[in-house]
Structures are given as structure tokens and as C-alpha cells.
Amino acid sequence: MKTHKEVMDSLTPVRREQVKARAEELRTEIRLEEIRKSRKVTQVELARNMRVSQPAVSQMEKDSRISIIRLKRFTEALGGKLNIQVEFPDGKNYKVL
């Protein structure tokens, strides 16, 4: 059986980047659920606060391509505030939201 490193080394650079990007998406998917659970809020409670269905909350937690508006509503329904900042290598930062 090959190790993870051996498998990754056998991929083309493009495919390796695709795998890394998907792995990051999966980590993002986990984070929304972890945030909700850390706040001790059920999907049903969050759905009620957001005025959506529980399956909609479940889908948001699974979908790494959540819109900024939905992420903002998700955050606010948990009592938080979403901040988005753009950072550049030259040190300039811009608050977007």
C-alpha cells in the first residue's frame, strides 16, 4: 500500500493542486459545523434563527461554496459578526465586510 506522500508525488502538479484545493474545501465544510456546535446551537435552532429549514442549514454546513450573504446570515444567527478583509503582499489591507 502506498503512503499519502507517495500518492501525492505520483500526481501531476496540476492534479496535486486540485487535490490540495479540495482538501481545503473539506476543511471549510467542517468548520461551519464546528462553529455551530461550539456555540451549542442545534441545526434546528439555527434554522429557526435564520428562517430557513433544517435541511438548508445542513446543506450550508456541507457546501464549501456558500455565498457571502448566507455565511453572513449563518454567523449573525449564531450571534456573531462576519468580517472579511483583503490582504496584499505589500502590506495593504482592505476591510470588505
pLDDT tens across 31-74, in order?
889 899 999 999 999 999 999 999 999 998 887 678 899 999 99
Mean pLDDT calculated for residue range 79-84? 94
The reported pTM is: 0.63
Which H or E run includes 87? Answer: strand 85-87
To the nearest whole number, what is the mean pLDDT of the chain? 89
Q: What is the pLDDT of residue 29?
A: 56
Distance, in Å, from the CA atom of 41 to the CA atom of 78, rounded to the nearest integer, reads 8
Domains of the chain: 4-95 (1.10.260.40)
By the 8 A CB rule, do 32 and 61 touch? yes
Question: Residue 48 has what pLDDT?
Answer: 96
Class of residue 48 by CB neighbours under 10 A (exposed 0-12, middle 13-18, buried 19+): middle
pLDDT above 60 (res 81): yes
